[in-house]
A and B are shown apart, each in its own frame.
Chain A
């Protein structure tokens, strides 16, 4: 199936929800407390860049706005967005999204726009960031309650937490299983399941990924890999790889994808479309809508839900917008060297500050380990597809 088809398919579930009268709050930045919206009786849905969007942004955004926000704006201007009860913008994550929120409010005054402002997370977590975010979440919750007259229901919150916990456990298992044996399930399948969940975190999308994880677990048990997978999961969440032992006969090349808000499914499709190559070369991604989402800790049931949600959000593995480049580079190097990685594809969206600033550091860090890298400039429309395929194919050739 072509990329457009793949992407379209995953929003079918959302359309059905909307038609059945479910109310949706859209969000853009990956690290949001889904439980908060669910506690107020809404379905949170990740609004993402779509490949078929060509123009529409020109009235409000210059061409040097990053390709991601141009795409989002164009979708809205062209009437491609599903009807949303509200839309959540992040504050303080990157300059482009910050300004997009302001522009959106002016251009689409009838949209209900909310904003959640994040502290710049530090590797040396201190209480002030958690306290700040908890208060932001409390204010957001209050605003939603007042705007829609829908209070925060503890029962709904608790149910949401169970769903979210199930999702994270399954997603982490699948990611870790692929590190041990990338052929155990295609990368495209894992990221499709994550995408479906982010599009609509419903009971059915969670049971999809849960069932898949259970099936993969059975296969892993047959292959005697379950303990190994668990040590990988623990290593990734703790950053301590001393317990990791991978099988001796790993198939090569083993490649990791680095980047930010690049669509994991776009990468999967690109790779699978290259003749003689399959996505089993991809061991892991470090992307926002893949790895970083999966390896965020789910919140716990707590007497202070805002604090619990803030703590959960802040466990998301480092975004390039955060403080501590050296810390992130060390974490990445540990991961690359301990998981036997030979190649790193560094994806960057055009005009994306965080992606483009971090790419040279990633390249340097990888080359210190002897891991080969390739830069892959992307936009959501894959407008330079021929050249991108050439880059990827040559890169994989050089690893052989």
Chain B
């Protein structure tokens, strides 16, 4: 009883579904290990059309997610140090650094080092860094790299861009085929695409439930529950997880239960979170601040249409080229303004991530435009997603306080 009361007093509410997450993560880890032992494990970037390797029966893991796990354990600086000892600069992407560091010394990183890959699949729709990162891993492990090149697009995808990316997808199928001596079955791809699309649609439903007041999910909830849609989309258990999540979230919304107990201010979060300090969101929760939307988890809302399209390949080409990070500053600003409108937000916090250039360079400009267009104020705080050595909590607190004073 006493315990329950203590949790009752916390400023935020824990999701029931989070228990399921651990099961999924555990299962996913076992499957990856097995795939690696069987010689068919792919490391995949978050924006990669994972439906294809899954349909070709490869196991997949996501080093970016492993980076988040390393960050959350607060061992980022140590693991990053192993990569820095090899000569990788502290100025490089911290996901890449901890990935290289944990590949160099897997025994030092029991949670967060990934099983040995047999193939490295990179998509540059999220950034150009992934290619260089995977090249480094390839040097260490001997696994070949495949890059699906999706040249950035402005406003619309022109035919030559589309054709080029389609050729890339065809090369990908060939590449996996020749490396693992297998072919892609059309039926299987449809099945995987269908599952992926269902999981994504459920995820969008969970996100959109946050339009309710109070918001049934806070930032940290979404960062944690996004894991399966990033790492397991295209599988049955992923769909099942999001069915549970949506049920819980929609029930919360129906009953007017918020993610935090006393919602006063609704803010937008921009960029990857500081995995080492997710506490940041809970501290703000105690002051009545909730984040009903963020640009990061909304990046995984690309919706594959499953069985009713003539060509799944065309669908893949379009979906993965039009990730908003691949469409420039305007697309990102539009996304932020739209989220602020749709979720009725009072302001925004932009996390300037020192080691993520693609996501962060441009924030000084977009901050001004977003405020101009929506009329709501914002603040930029600086730090890093994994490398807590460059995260200055005192400075961040002052800046966020200043924003809240403007709003209260």
Contact = CB atoms under 8 A, between A and B. Distances in A.
A and B touch in the complex (CB under 8 A): yes
Interface string B135-147: 1101100000101
B364 A61 contact: yes
A45 B329 CA distance: 27
A62 B361 contact: yes
Given A103-B362, A353-B92, A119 B329 contact: no
Contacts of A56: none
A62 B92 contact: no
B152 A103 contact: no
Contacts of A62: 352, 354, 360-361, 363-364, 382
Contacts of B91: 64, 350-351, 356
Interface string A97-138: 011101101110000000101111000001011011001100
Given A62-B382, A65-B361, A98-B358, A106 B329 contact: yes
Contacts of B365: 60, 102-103, 106-107
B154 A358 contact: no
Interface in A343-368: 348, 350-351, 353-354, 356-361, 363-364
A99 B72 CA distance: 29
A156 interface: no
SS of A interface (majority): helix
Contacts of A351: 91, 357
Given A95-B357, A102-B330, A131-B160, A60 B92 contact: no
Given A60-B364, A323-B145, A357-B88, A117 B129 contact: no
A370 B382 CA distance: 42
B355 interface: yes
Chain B, interface size: which category?
A: 35 or more
Nearest to A91: B152
Contact of A136 (B88, B147, B160): B160
Given A102-B330, A106-B369, A348 B149 contact: no
Interface string A367-395: 00000000100000000000000000000
A284 B334 CA distance: 48
A320 B135 CA distance: 10
B110 interface: no
Given A62-B352, A62-B382, A118-B151, A99 B358 contact: yes
Contacts of B164: 119, 128-129, 131-132
Contacts of B88: 356-357, 360
B32 interface: no
Nearest to B382: A62
A364 B96 CA distance: 18
A105 B89 CA distance: 31
Name, among A62, A65, A356, the residue most crowded by chain B CB atoms within 10 Å (CB to CB). Answer: A62
Interface in B236-277: none
B161 A98 contact: no
A321 B129 CA distance: 9
A325 interface: yes
A128 B168 contact: yes
Interface residues of A, number: 53
A78 interface: no
B128 interface: yes
Contacts of A96: 357, 361
B385 to A, nearest CB: 13
Nearest to A356: B89
Given A62-B363, A326-B138, A128 B167 contact: yes
B87 interface: yes
A92 interface: yes
A320 B132 contact: yes
A321 B130 CA distance: 11
Contact of A103 (B129, B136, B158, B329): B329
Interface string A34-61: 0000000000000000000000000111
B302 interface: no
B256 to A, nearest CB: 40
Interface string B70-83: 00000000000000
Contacts of B167: 126, 128
B291 to A, nearest CB: 22
A360 B161 CA distance: 33
B160 A135 contact: yes
Nearest to B92: A356
A277 interface: no
B136 A132 contact: no
A59 B380 CA distance: 13
Nearest to B362: A99
Contacts of A103: 329, 361-362, 365
A118 B139 CA distance: 25
Contacts of A94: 128
Contacts of A64: 91, 354-355, 357, 360-361
Contacts of A92: 124, 128, 149, 151-152
A120 to B, nearest CB: 4
Contacts of A98: 128, 152, 328, 358
B359 to A, nearest CB: 9
B369 A91 contact: no
Nearest to A129: B164
A225 to B, nearest CB: 38
A358 B132 contact: yes
B127 interface: yes
A126 B174 CA distance: 14
Contact of A102 (B86, B329, B352): B329
A115 B154 contact: yes
Nearest to A95: B358
B180 interface: no
B357 A119 contact: no
B133 interface: yes
Contacts of B329: 99, 102-103, 105-106
Contacts of A321: 128, 131
Contact of B362 (A93, A102, A139, A323): A102
A168 B363 CA distance: 41
A348 B87 CA distance: 12
Nearest to A373: B87
26 contacts: A60-B364, A61-B364, A62-B382, A92-B128, A95-B357, A99-B329, A102-B329, A105-B329, A106-B365, A117-B151, A118-B151, A119-B149, A126-B167, A128-B163, A128-B168, A129-B164, A131-B160, A132-B164, A139-B158, A321-B128, A325-B135, A325-B138, A354-B132, A357-B129, A358-B132, A361-B139
- 9 tightest A-B contacts by CB? A360-B87, A102-B329, A357-B132, A135-B160, A325-B135, A95-B358, A99-B361, A132-B164, A128-B167
